[in-house]
Amino acid sequence: MDFNDSPAEAEFRTNARAWLDVNAGRDKERKAPRVDDTSLLGEGKVWQAKKAEVGYACITWPKEWGGGGGTPMEQVIFNEEEAKHGRGYGFFAIGLGMCVPTVMAFADNATKQRFVPAAVRGEEIWCQLFSEPSAGSDAAASRTRAMRAGDGSGDWILDGQKVWTSGAHYSDFGIVLVRTDPDVPKHSGLTMFWVDMKSPGVDIRPIHQASGESDFNEVYFTDVRVRDSQRLGEVGKGWNVALVTLMNERLAVGGGMGPNWSELLALAQGIPGVGGSSAAEDGGFRERLADWYVSAEGLRLTRYRAMTALSRGDTPGPESAIGKIVSARQMQEIGEEAMNRLDQYGIVGDEHERHLISAFQHNWFWGTALRIAGGTDEILKNIIAERVLGLPLDIRIDRDVAFKDIPRGV
Ligand SMILES: Cc1cc2nc3c(=O)[nH]c(=O)nc-3n(C[C@H](O)[C@H](O)[C@H](O)COP(=O)(O)OP(=O)(O)OC[C@H]3O[C@@H](n4cnc5c(N)ncnc54)[C@H](O)[C@@H]3O)c2cc1C
């Protein structure tokens, strides 16, 4: 494996750097935009449109859909360079990472023409409506239902509740997984639709998080009318469509983010330790730091391995689950260590005064969410056990049972 840029990649990096220097500015103190900070929505949309103009938005997507027609390695290189400018707006991640690829895979040409380039340019934002109060890890347990309208139009009427829908409050459209047949086993009775989030009967209610943010929402559907042309894939085949979205989700949420071991080291060097020396000289701290350094390097190289596979046209395997397990846990641990080292000041960070401290706090809160989103630690470990290590499958009591007959809590 060669970790250096190939001549073509090096040229791409030079061009990307030059473009970013001119267009993005270089502001090391710029905060990573918070997903729920809708005051940055306009700024994010302008940045997305600027990238789309020159092919730096959705670099691997075909040019005919507004993408850059480039390689996965070029996307990685651009992400690395863009991150140095603090320009990673979260508003588009779910739409472009998960929903729009699903639309591209399952919608007809006219629908794709209508939605894909607009999403690439950041003009419209998408959300993913899968989770429900009793359908999280078991996403196929979805109970939100769609029934044909009784007027012969072929339209569908949606009723039910989704939960944890990130960005629903600023999204224009969503992809929604619903039950269209409760009389067959759970994976066979689902159908996927795209839905206009401004449709009558869609009620979006924000959920307030411990971190003070409000990234996600409950979404209620009450008699929401959806045309049959909004269906993605065949009736009853929604699980296959959802798998495409979920596969992209695992890839999209695997990357590391926030301050890492080197920033923790810098912080510790400026904090007094026992006996007057800096906290960085504490033996226990150094040992933990060495562990994080080792796993961060392991992650980086594993990521390169996955990217090399992508460059060669292979599909990344279930190994990508490892990246998410390790990076989310590490993010949480590093945040916790920083807060402990700062003692009582660790919980009083003011993001306007001490950006790095608030970034560590944010990591600590966000790491918890990341260990759940896109597949919990336990579910990802199940995947690794079954598909990487070949251990026996998880027990299932609902195989071949009609969804309506599956026992459920009272
Ligand atoms: C930040 C964030 C953003 C999110 N954004 C979205 C979004 O945009 N759209 C959306 O649809 N959803 C979203 N979600 C929801 C997310 O997909 C679910 O929270 C996740 O799938 C877990 O489901 P659950 O919360 O219902 O937990 P449950 O599935 O009820 O799990 C509870 C616990 O039981 C464990 N468990 C469950 N089944 C097994 C098993 N078979 N073996 C071992 N352990 C098991 C789980 O690992 C977990 O620890 C988001 C979640 C978070 C945290």
Q: What is the pLDDT of residues 48-63, one digit of tens each?
A: 999 999 999 999 999 9
Q: What is the CA radius of gyration of the chain?
A: 23
Kindly indicate the confidence band of residue 352, based on its pLDDT and cuts at 50, 70 and 90. low
**Residues 6 or more apart from 37 whose CB is under 8 A from it?**
none
Structure tokens at 54: 């020159």
pLDDT (0 to 100) of residue 254: 46
Find out whether the beta carbon of 188 lies less than 6 Å from any atom of ligand 1.
Answer: no
Q: Residue 381: is its pLDDT beyond 90?
A: yes
Higher pLDDT: 9 or 168? It is 168
How far apart are the C-alpha atoms of 321 and 384, rounded to whole Å?
Answer: 7
How far apart are the C-alpha atoms of 9 and 41, rounded to whole Å? 31
pTM recorded for the entire structure: 0.91
Ligand 1 contact via 130 beta carbon (within 6 Å) = yes
Q: Provide the residue type at 141 as one letter.
A: A
Report H helices in 225-354.
238-252, 261-269, 283-311, 320-341
CA distance 62 to 74: 14
Residues in Cβ contact with 274 at an 8 Å cutoff, skipping those fewer than 6 apart? 282
| 53 counts as catalytic | no
Residue 315 has pLDDT above 80, yes or no: no
**Cβ(136) – ligand 1 distance below 6 Å:** yes
CA–CA dist 40, 31 (Å, integer)? 11
Catalytic residue among 74, 82, 249, 337: 249
What is the Cα–Cα distance from 118 to 122, expressed in whole angstroms? 6
Give dist(CA 232, CA 177) in Å, integer: 10
Residues 361, 335: contact at Cβ < 8 Å? yes
Ligand 1 atom index nearest CA of 135:
26
Q: What is the pLDDT of residue 206?
A: 95
Which residue has its alpha carbon closest to ligand 1 atom 26? 136
Tokens for 21, please give them.
């220097």
In contact, 202 and 183? CB cutoff 8 Å: no
Mean pLDDT of the chain: 88
The pLDDT score that the predictor gives to residue 55 is: 97
The pLDDT tens digits for 88-124 are 788 999 999 999 999 999 999 999 999 999 999 999 9
CA 40, 366, 170 angle in degrees (round to 5)? 35
Maximum separation of any 2 CA atoms in the chain, in Å: 81
Question: What whole-number distance in Å separates Cα of residue 218 and Cα of residue 168?
Answer: 8
For 250, other C-beta atoms within 10 Å of its C-beta total 19
Q: Report in angstroms the alpha-carbon separations of 405 from 145, 183, 289, 382, 396.
A: 16, 8, 52, 26, 14
Place of tokens 């409950």: 218
Q: Between 276 and 97, where is the model more confident?
A: 97
127, two tokens: 């959300």
pLDDT the model gives residue 125: 98
Instruction: Report the number of secondary-structure helices (H) and strands (E) in the chain.
Output: 12, 8
Is the pLDDT confidence value at 158 over 50? yes
The pLDDT of residue 15 is above 80:
yes
CA distance 181 to 142: 11
Compute CA distances 194 → 6, 230, 394, whole Å: 40, 5, 32
Q: Is 134 near ligand 1, meaning CB less than 6 Å away?
A: no
Rounded to whole angstroms, the Cα distance separating 264 from 333 reads: 11
Taking a C-beta distance cutoff of 8 angstroms, is the pair 59, 70 a contact?
yes
Mean pLDDT of the 338-346 span? 81
For residues 190 and 238, is the Cβ–Cβ distance under 8 A?
Answer: yes
Give the bridge partners for 237, in sequence order: 190
Angle value at C-alpha 56, between 54 and 58, nearest 5 degrees: 125
| Pairwise pLDDT comparison (55 vs 40), residue with the higher score | 55
Sorting pLDDT into bands at 50, 70 and 90, what band is 20?
very high
What three-state secondary structure class fits 309?
helix
Residue 318 pLDDT greater than 90, yes or no: no
Note whether 320 and 251 are within 8 A (CB).
yes
Counting Cβ atoms within 10 Å, is residue 77 exposed (0-12), middle (13-18) or buried (19+)?
A: buried
Cα separation, 250 vs 310, whole angstroms: 14
Q: How far is the CA of 321 from the centre of ligand 1 (A)?
A: 15
| CA–CA gap between residue 279 and residue 270 (Å, rounded) | 8
Q: For residue 139, how far is its CA from the centre of ligand 1 (angstroms)?
A: 9
- Of the candidates 329, 84, 341, 358, which has an alpha carbon nearest to the alpha carbon of residue 213? 358
Q: Is the CB of 292 under 6 A from ligand 1?
A: no
Return the number of other C-beta atoms located less than 10 Å from residue 111's C-beta: 16
Judged against a pLDDT cut of 60, whether residue 35 lies above it is answered with no
